[in-house]
Structure 1
Amino acid sequence: MTAPLTELADVIRSKNTGPYELTLDIIFTEREQYDLVKRERAINRALIADLYHLPPDDVGEPIFYDPAKAVKVNLRRPLASGSVGDTDVYGAQQHGPLLTMVLPTP
């Protein structure tokens, strides 16, 4: 079985990691769901690269943080924060592609 990420996580957000990187954060509601995603590596570089139309080299390895039931993924920004053409200086509007993600459920 699968379910949309929006039904499985309390927090889905993006933010600046610095002028050249963005961080994506997902904090799951249930421990069992988090453990399944971590065990199966259901969130991985290839999936994020596909969602964001990026080369895999622009996506960091997911970081799983057990105490918070959270996954963090860093992305290389296509433009430096605040440079000409940047549409999101704070990186707070870049989580949209995550909202389309569907994950296996326990």
Structure 2
Amino acid sequence: MTTLFDLCSLIRSKNAGPFMLTFDLMFSSAENYALAKRSNALTPSVLAEIYSVPFEQIVVVYHEAAMALKISMPRPIFQSDPGDSDCYGGQQYVPLLSIAIS
């Protein structure tokens, strides 16, 4: 099974302000980028299920020239609110690592 972890040279998450998260996925080759894009494994519906965010609020943008993918969505828990265990949003990418790509 091939996962995003296998296809990317970098997967990261960070805050885009106190209410939003952004994810950057940079693929290690044009072939890996094309495979991930073709797979439809990173749709707003899939991400909504993983992160418990309404799919209508998730933006997925493929950047052909950069062989990269950008995802933006509301933070499930606002930055520094009670229950926020990741103030900078830097650990939110982890559930993406094991997404199967076929």
Aligned twin of 2:4: 5
Q: Identity of aligned pairs, percent?
A: 36
Task: Give the 3-state SS of the residue equivalent to 1:78 in structure 2.
Answer: coil
TM normalised by structure 2 equals 0.86
Deviation at residue 72 of structure 1 after TM alignment: 0.8
CA distance in 2, matches of 1:40, 1:78: 26
Aligned twin of 2:15: 16
Count, aligned residues: 102
* 1:17-70 deviation line (CA, Å, top 9, x unaligned): 11100011111111012123334543210111122233313422x111122211
Q: How do residues 40-79 of structure 1 correspond to structure 2 at under 5 angstroms?
A: 40-60=39-59, 62-79=60-77
Task: Give the 3-state SS of the residue equivalent to 1:100 in structure 2.
Answer: coil
Aligned twin of 2:35: 36
Of 51, 67, 91, 1:93 maps to 91
Q: Once structures 1 and 2 are overlaid, which stretch shifts more, 38-47 or 10-19?
A: 38-47
Aligned twin of 1:84: 82
